[in-house]
């Protein structure tokens, strides 16, 4: 029998040989070596690594995605890792952010120890910007508190201290009261204040219940 | 459950990316870009085309994300989109070439990243194969598609896929032997059973 052609041998990489082919391979070292080489080549192809795209590839892609409207920037909540925040808390944070510009005075008034200036009273742009930055820091601190609350809401931190939760909600009530002082007739703000107070009262009841259990 | 740098599972990431969240899309890109680029680069046989095809694949995938139901693994779904995008783009390019007349053959250069000599030789040998053979051997031997799947993707019969694969393997063997500097054409003597 003549040697097997390379194409026949290529088939034998993943198919069984016919009896004739098997007999030939058993006797022919050249064909056996060629088949081994083809098997090794196939194995090597299957092990080829992934390839890194060229540098700058993402920037080009991102621009294209944006031009097609397929990408939107993360919201402030997502940037702060608060994508799962309940709607009522988002509303609270939005109010606080809004107040950081116009209502800083009210917030400061609720905290006599603070030395924050009233943004509305500032005339220099730099001073106003600085005050807003300080207010924003306060905002970030507040949302960090909300995050702790969320962990408890989601059961991620079942052992969280109910007193801390109550304290955070108390802070939320205080902030929303400041908002209502800014706009006493706003139904949304009043509704939010009522929700925050209800949450706080529920937390208080939880604290009381836990205290009763201690004795 | 795989968590990314954002501390999210892949399912969460996909959900956010489907809503257009830039960070989630970037995270999926970081995770799968090398896989997508590898398959389109090998199908395209050319670096510049590969980048265009990969971009097209990603755009299609992001556009189709809301329809991803999770029946298959995301990586499999994305891979299929990448293969289809590259093949479709090649077909378009071929049609255009035919319309515009013959153009200089663009033999792709070896990949520019650091890799082994064997890998470079394999990539070069793949690039040098005729289009039909290259597509089949990449899909079968590199990407692990069955002949039936290749038939579906390329619009040929499983038998045609097999025939192209065996020819491609044999041709690659000769090319690799040449690249290694030791030409040993096994079939040179018209060996038959």
Per residue in B84-96, pLDDT (tens digit) is 999 999 888 877 7
B42-52 tens-digit pLDDT: 999 988 899 99
pTM of model > 0.90: no
Position A109 pLDDT exceeds 50: no
For residue B91, the distance in angstroms to the closest alpha carbon of chain A comes to 22
What the block records as the tokens of A189 is: 């703000």
ipTM: 0.78
Average pLDDT over chain A, rounded to an integer: 71
Candidate from A18-32, A128-142, B16-30 with smallest mean pLDDT: A128-142
pLDDT category at A196 given cuts 50, 70, 90 is confident
Proportion of chain A above pLDDT 90, given as a percent:
28
Which one of A180-184, B18-22, B100-104, B108-112 scores highest in mean pLDDT?
B18-22
* Contact at CB, B141 and A45, closer than 8 angstroms: yes
Burial of A125 per CB tally in 10 Å (0-12, 13-18, 19+): exposed
A55-86 tens-digit pLDDT: 899 999 999 999 888 987 655 555 555 555 56
Q: Is B136 on the interface with A (CB under 8 A)?
A: no
- pLDDT in the model for residue A106: 43
Q: Is A116 helix (H, G, I), strand (E, B) or coil?
A: coil
* Contact at CB, A45 and B137, closer than 8 angstroms: yes
* Contact at CB, A7 and B47, closer than 8 angstroms: no
Q: Is A8 on the interface with B (CB under 8 A)?
A: yes
* Contact at CB, A83 and B16, closer than 8 angstroms: yes
Which whole-number Å values give the CA distances from B37 to A52, B44, B50, B113, in the listed order?
Answer: 7, 10, 7, 13
pLDDT category at A25 given cuts 50, 70, 90 is very high
A42-57 tens-digit pLDDT: 999 999 999 999 989 9
Could you tell me where the DSSP H helices lie in chain B? 10-18, 22-44, 47-64, 74-100, 117-127, 131-137, 147-154, 158-179
Name the closest residue on chain B to residue A57, using Cα atoms. B51
Which one of A60-74, A132-146, A151-165, B77-91 scores highest in mean pLDDT?
B77-91
Chain CA centroid to CA A164, Å: 24
pLDDT category at B170 given cuts 50, 70, 90 is very high
A173-191 tens-digit pLDDT: 777 777 677 667 766 667 7
pLDDT category at B124 given cuts 50, 70, 90 is very high
Name the closest residue on chain B to residue A43, using Cα atoms. B141
pLDDT mean over B21-35:
93
Candidate from A22-36, A79-93, A201-215 with smallest mean pLDDT: A79-93
Q: Is A55 on the interface with B (CB under 8 A)?
A: no
* Contact at CB, B21 and A72, closer than 8 angstroms: yes
Please count the other Cβ atoms lying within 10 Å of the Cβ belonging to residue B165: 24
* Contact at CB, B141 and A21, closer than 8 angstroms: no
pLDDT category at A215 given cuts 50, 70, 90 is very low
Mutate to test the interface with B, among A2, A6, A52 (most CBs of B within 10 A): A6
Chain B neighbors of A62, CB-CB under 8 A: 22, 26
Chain B neighbors of A51, CB-CB under 8 A: 34, 37-38, 41, 111, 113
- pLDDT in the model for residue B112: 45
- pLDDT in the model for residue B141: 95
Euclidean distance between CA atoms B146 and B152, whole angstroms: 10
Q: Is A72 helix (H, G, I), strand (E, B) or coil?
A: strand
With a CB cutoff of 8 Å and minimum separation 6, the contacts of A173 are: A193, A196, A197, A200
- pLDDT in the model for residue A110: 46
For residue B103, the distance in angstroms to the closest alpha carbon of chain A comes to 26
* Contact at CB, B191 and A5, closer than 8 angstroms: yes
Q: Is B3 helix (H, G, I), strand (E, B) or coil?
A: strand
B189 vs B83, more confident: B83
């Amino acid at each position: 029998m003549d040697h097997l052609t390379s194409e026949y041998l290529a088939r034998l990489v993943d198919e069984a040989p016919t009896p004739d082919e098997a007999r030939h391979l058993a006797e022919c070292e050249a064909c056996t070596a060629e088949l081994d080489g083809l098997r090794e080549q196939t194995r090597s192809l299957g092990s080829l690594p992934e390839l890194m795209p060229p540098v700058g590839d993402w920037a080009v892609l991102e621009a294209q995605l944006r031009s097609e409207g397929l990408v939107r920037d993360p919201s402030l909540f997502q940037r702060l890792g608060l994508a799962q925040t309940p709607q009522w808390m988002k509303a609270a944070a939005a109010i606080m952010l809004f107040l950081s510009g116009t209502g800083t005075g009210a917030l400061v008034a609720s905290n006599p120890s603070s030395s924050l200036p009233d943004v509305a009273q500032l005339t220099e742009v730099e001073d106003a910007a600085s005050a807003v930055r300080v207010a924003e820091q306060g905002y970030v601190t507040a949302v960090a508190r909300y995050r702790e609350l969320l962990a408890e809401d989601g059961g991620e931190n079942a052992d969280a201290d109910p007193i801390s939760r109550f304290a955070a909600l108390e802070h939320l009530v205080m902030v929303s009261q400041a908002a209502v002082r800014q706009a006493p007739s706003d139904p949304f703000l009043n509704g939010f204040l009522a929700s925050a107070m209800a949450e706080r009262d529920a937390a208080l009841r939880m604290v009381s219940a836990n205290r009763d259990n201690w004795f | 459950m795989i968590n990314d740098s954002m501390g999210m599972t892949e399912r969460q990431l996909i959900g956010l990316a489907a809503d257009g969240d830039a960070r989630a899309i970037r995270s999926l890109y970081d995770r799968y870009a090398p896989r997508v680029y590898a398959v389109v680069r090998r199908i395209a046989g050319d670096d510049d085309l590969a980048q265009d095809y990969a971009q097209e694949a990603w755009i299609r995938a992001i556009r189709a994300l809301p329809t991803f139901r999770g029946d298959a693994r995301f990586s499999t779904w994305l891979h299929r989109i990448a293969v289809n995008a590259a093949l479709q783009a090649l077909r378009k390019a071929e049609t255009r070439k035919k319309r515009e007349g013959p153009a200089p053959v663009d033999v792709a250069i070896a990949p520019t990243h650091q890799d082994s000599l064997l890998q470079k030789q394999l990539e070069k040998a793949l690039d040098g194969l005729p289009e039909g053979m290259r597509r089949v051997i990449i899909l079968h031997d590199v990407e692990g598609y069955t002949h039936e799947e290749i038939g579906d993707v390329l619009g040929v019969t499983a038998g045609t896929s097999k025939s192209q694969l065996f020819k491609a393997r044999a041709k690659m063997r000769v090319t690799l032997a040449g690249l290694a500097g030791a030409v040993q054409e096994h079939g040179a003597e018209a060996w038959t059973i």
